[in-house]
Amino acid sequence: MWTEILPFLLAGLVGFRHAFETDHLVAVSNIVTKRNSIVLAMKDGTFWGLGHSTSILIVGIIMLLLRYEIPETYFQTMEGAVGVMIIILGIFRLWQYFKQNPISIHAHTHSHDATTHTHLHIHAGAPGKHTHKHLHKVSFGVGIIHGLAGSGVLIAAAMAAMKTIGTSILFLIVFSIGCIAGMMTAAGLFGMPFSKKLQSFARVQQVLVIVSCLICIILGYKIIVKNWFN
């Protein structure tokens, strides 16, 4: 009995671990910087997992049922597309952040000991009230792209581990459930610094947003070069 159950338990664990791959975390962490609720951040992670699962299952069913082998070049092209997507996420988030938190530059002049001093202050303005109604859709779409890029290896692993088409598909479903749980957990952790309870750490939040965007741009560039120009 355990020999039959063990592969599926491992599939769930591998799926959970799969959610923590660098490009996945970078994309989702950038999305949840827009949230002020851990619950909403976890929902974003869940929708990412659902999108990821959707593309994996669709590609898996095509390959398993129709016995159609998708060329490796396709997955490499999609990996490059992931890089483009991550760069877009980073640039758009930076633009959106500074639009909502405009840079303010002003000078303060004061005198003491018969000497006048002028100090230049540069800071982002206070965040305005805004909502992000479509982030779940964005997370779902990002998950789909990630799933399309990485589905080839996963489906090959399912085919190697399982004896029949039905068990292979079940393997992918269990893997996907683990992946959803993993990203939900990761998104919740990344969303913690931006929760309402930590609004007093506004400067830290500002730094985290900017750093997240820069990491998106740098990692995206590396992914594009690796998959499209090597």
> Would you state the structure tokens that stand for residue 34, as one six-digit string?
């827009």
Give the confidence band of 7 by pLDDT, cuts at 50, 70, 90: confident
Does some domain include residue 108? no
pTM of model > 0.75: yes
Is residue 22 pLDDT above 80, yes or no?
yes
The share of the chain scoring above pLDDT 70, in percent, equals 82
| Structural domain boundaries, residue 157 | 7-100+131-228
Count structural domains, the chain: 1
Strand partners, 105: 122
In angstroms, the Cα distances linking 37 to 71, 106, 199 are: 42, 33, 11
Residue 55 lies in a domain: yes
Whether the per-residue pLDDT at 119 is higher than 70: the answer is no
Q: Which helix (H) or strand (E) holds 20?
A: none
Name the DSSP letter for residue 193: G
69 within some domain: yes
Is 113 a domain residue? no
Most confident of 110-114, 117-121, 165-169: 165-169
In a domain, 107, yes or no: no
- What one-character DSSP code corresponds to residue 34? T
pLDDT of amino acid 155: 77
| DSSP code, position 199 | T
Q: Which of 1-5, 118-122, 155-159, 168-172 has the lowest mean pLDDT?
A: 118-122
167 assigned to some structural domain? yes
